[in-house]
Structure 1
């Protein structure tokens, strides 16, 4: 199951602010003296350089497998930290979750470190971790060795199954995966929920000594943030949620018709991907072949060329590139505009001309002990299937695929099959928070939504802003999945002000992406200030 973009694709992942209104009662931010002093850390984190000469420090935390039984089995969490770079100006710790579920923070935070706003890097230690069940933490790993894992992956086609035979192979493969996982560590499978991870995050906050949490979560990390905010509302100092999941859709609190859909179809990922694919083809067709190699000279001709290519790949593959893998590659490549969209256009043109595309070069590995931990499909599957309801009948998926394809085309087929592993998954999470989502937090939350997002449609960010008790929506008018990896200097300016001293953007604020797809290299980012005031609610300046 691919909830995030494929790993290789993920790796490829200043505007004026209006005058502020200061609250009558100033609240101390992390790193400043308070009347009671910082809480005593619940655990000690022994930080040391991840590898010799690395600017990143690593540590391991031990947390209870079951937070309801703190004296029982414990598990390990792998952590990474980059210290604040501004001498004498440190505010506290910013915790970062890269989404997924299944994103290893020990890898993805170092990869994306330079994407954090400069002032945030100066003022905060930035800490991330591999959530329980993931990566270098105590992980869900259902195979005895890599040979077994590779054989399992080879038992089904990549991307999307086509026809009855391939569908049967997918269903059988995921049934086998669930059986293997149940045999290896059934106890762990019941304790990798978002709620478990939110409780881990609270222990990590205590361990670094911050009185309240400062947090940035992207994609699935927004749902984790919302869960934390409602479990520990008085501990929220500042929280940025970038590219949001509708929490009610995740928990299946929806209409009867929507409740019968998979998680990703309830979230609208199929429609979001279809809309962004349309934009990709429109903008490509309006560009020259120098900027978009797949361009056919007009948006209409480029769309027709794309549809013809996919029909051809169903019956006439180019090497290993048949319809299923090609659709999976297209959907994943829409996540990152630079360089993802131009690279995708090049691969599509190669396939059009009958050449098998060459793999994209990956960026250098980050300076951490394990730059490529095991990240098998059982890890996100364990989180999603244990946490979020999905249809339990594998035979229901072909009909759902056709219904989703009717509303979202090829992207609908991809997102339907993304969670078929849940149909036969053997475990349900023991500890799950399912709402309400409107607990009043100590400080407001900043919600960032991108208007053309292929995984978490803008409607999800609108829903998150409505559900939370006190949230401000900042609109990122751009393309791709998350503003972090598809940046806007305007969004970064607002995030910096908010994280540093709590200044929210005015209501209705809209920011533009710095570099739109297939455009010139000149930055385009700007701000359109909305109406309403801002609130300077955190006093964290030195």
Structure 2
């Protein structure tokens, strides 16, 4: 698996609140289920409009066209900007598919989402899932993706220009005095103000509940009676939210690298901080066995001390990179975190750290750029803008202001001596958001839903394993599948045991046996 692709589609921790039924699900030839008002959700801000008011959206026909990518088709889905007032306007969502290859009876559509929030599902489908998912699954399902509202091709949220983003990503996130604290707060305020200025119309309407309703609209337009879905990272929260809103329309759902919807933002951030510490210690244990380890060849604790010392040195004296941007402490930290998502990136990280400890920061800068989806020409994808827009709408902010963040630093440092301080301050990002949060932390049970498979990786950096345990226990029909290993998410990452269990579930509806663990 290409580690750069993985980093670019799922690495969003610094901005995140911090990467099935037996039988056929019903293909495009099935009778349409028809729209209906969904159950009221604890995270919904307003009840959706009546079925009659939404009828025109649910009865639309997609006009498929060539995407310019061999084998893929594209279309535009119309959705209400505001589901509570569909007459107030609409939003256009980018959809792509690659049709089932055969042989075997077609099982319908399989919707995929790579997470984020802010990751392009269309880009993920065309770049990986549509050609890289196991062949037996692609043979039986049309593989489908929709960029969530506010993301990539679906009327993207915009906040800052490329040069402004460069400045934003370099701001010191471990302030040493009042002036640095004020500068960090000002950077978050400036980011939020930019979003309000450039994306005011869409900002109140990019919640996970809104996107889950879009998924049901797409399900209906595709002609599927039930939703079949694989969601990774944040995509698990999106899938669980769908199950909460539409339990009777749940087909075969795989939630890989699960989030815990019951946690407030500060706990999500602190847990994720601990997840990155776990991942780093796994990297360090591997690194110190190698002769080229830049963090020493002793113990994991020694490696931890050496990395912390390196960050402090870069904080005082940023490194040259061969371009106008220097490697600051914040960018160096982001580069290390980016490589935690996939153990395949560990050799690249060792090389980048060796280079940086020799006084040249271009390797870590490249990792940080992949994380932020920065192109070589200085432009950025809208990943970070959409990430903040969704997260800050879904949950109240972690902190009321800098004083709260400062008080929380010790507990974050306990969770991670390496990353704790910076990730505590990073959790200040929603404090100044211009649109009030509409969601609240709550348990999702999805009573009445068909069996849902929740996948957890024991040393997952971004979505700690205990989140998968929690979500599986909350869901009335949740079944936990465990991968004992490293990296973010498990499906399609090299475990035949995991892939076989999920393939069997998607193709036959057979739920993995209780307590199943893979390595």
Do the two structures share a fold, i.e. TM-score over 0.5?
yes
- Within the alignment, does 1:424 sit opposite 2:432 as a pair? yes
Residue matched to 1:347: 352
- Cα distance in structure 1, aligned partners of 2:295 and 2:128: 29
Out of 52, 74, 85, the residue aligned to residue 58 of structure 1 is: 74
Task: Tell me the equivalent position of 2:59.
Answer: 42
CA contact (8 A) 1:283 1:299 kept: no
Within 5 A, what are the aligned runs for 1:254-273? 262=266, 264-265=268-269, 268-273=271-276
CA contact (8 A) 2:120 2:147 kept: yes
Moved more, 448-457 or 100-109: 100-109
Instruction: State the match for 2:145 in structure 1.
Output: 128
The 5 Å alignment of 1:268-307 reads 268-289=271-292, 296=297, 299=300, 301-307=302-308
What's 2:318 paired with?
A: 317
| Alignment match, 1:367 | none
The correspondence for 1:403, drawn from 401, 411, 417, is 411
Q: For residues 492 and 152 of structure 2, what CA distance do their matches in structure 1 show?
A: 21
| Change in 2 beyond 3 A, CA 1:142/1:155 | closer
Residue 223 (str. 1) matches residue 237 (str. 2): yes
Cα deviation 1:120-166 (Å, max 9, x = unaligned): 111111111211111111121135xxxx4422541562573442333
C-alpha distance after superposition, 1:297-318 (max 9, x if no partner): 6545544433432333233332
Identify the residue that residue 170 of structure 2 maps to in structure 1.
157
Query: Hey, what's the Cα distance between the residues in 1 that align with 2:440 and 2:298?
Result: 51
- Residues 1:30 and 2:37 aligned together: no
- Where structure 1 has 5 or more consecutive residues not aligned to the other structure, the ranges are 14-21, 253-260, 364-371, 513-542
- On the 8 A contact 1:222/1:241 being kept in 2, the answer is yes
2: distance between equivalents of 1:105 and 1:168? 36
Contact 1:217 1:241 in 2 (8 A): yes
User: In 2, are the aligned partners of 1:157 and 1:166 still within 8 Å (CA)?
Assistant: no
- In 1: Cα distance, 2:218 partner to 2:440 partner: 19
Aligned to 2:125: 109
Structure 1 residue 174 displacement after superposition: 1.8
Structure 1 residues 294, 79: CA separation in 2 closer, same or farther (over 3 Å shift)? farther
Map of 2:468 onto structure 1: 461
Larger CA deviation: 236-245 vs 86-95: 86-95
Aligned pair partner of 2:459 in 452, 459, 462:
452
Match for residue 387 of structure 1 among 390, 394, 416: 394
Query: 1:282, 1:300 within 8 Å by CA — same for their partners in 2?
Result: no
Query: Do structure 1's residue 377 and structure 2's residue 391 form an aligned pair?
Result: no
Cα deviation, residue 279, structure 1: 1.2
SS at structure 1 position matched to 2:417: helix
Does the 8 A contact of 1:264 with 1:416 survive in 2?
no
Retained in 1: the 8 A contact 2:28–2:224? no
* Contact residue 29 and residue 91 of structure 1 kept, 8 A: yes
| Contact in 2 for aligned 1:444/1:472 (Cα 8 Å) | yes
Root-mean-square deviation (Å): 2.8
Partner of 2:422: 414
1:155–1:511 Cα change, 3 Å? closer
Please name the residue that 1:535 is paired with.
none
Query: For the residues of structure 1 that align with 2:362 and 2:201, how far apart are their CA atoms?
Result: 42
Per-residue CA shift, 1:7-36, capped at 9, x if unaligned? 8822599xxxxxxxx99xx754223977xx
Asked if structure 2 preserves the Cα contact closer than 8 Å seen for 1:76 and 1:138, the reply is yes
Residue 248 (structure 1) aligned to one of 251, 262, 274: 262
The question of 1:209 aligning with 2:223 is answered yes
Alpha-carbon offset, residue 106 of structure 1: 1.4
Q: TM-score, normalised by structure 2?
A: 0.83
Q: Per-residue displacement from partner, 1:366-392 (whole Å, max 9, x unpaired)?
A: xxxxxx983153321111111111123
| Larger helix fraction of residues | 2
Task: Name structure 2 gaps, 5 residues minimum.
Answer: 12-19, 35-57, 321-325, 371-378
Q: Report the Cα distance in structure 2 between the residues aligned to 1:327 and 1:152, rounded to whole angstroms.
A: 17
Per the alignment, in what secondary structure is the counterpart of residue 248 of structure 1?
coil
After superposition, where does 1:161-176 map in structure 2 within 5 Å? Answer: 161-164=174-177, 165-176=179-190
Change (3 A) 1:156 1:94: closer
Q: Deviations over 1:377-411 (max 9, x none)?
A: 33211111111111232332222234311331132
Q: Distance in 1 between matches of 2:96 and 2:224?
A: 17
TM-score, with structure 1 as normaliser: 0.79
- Does the CA contact (< 8 Å) of 1:262 and 1:389 recur in 2? no
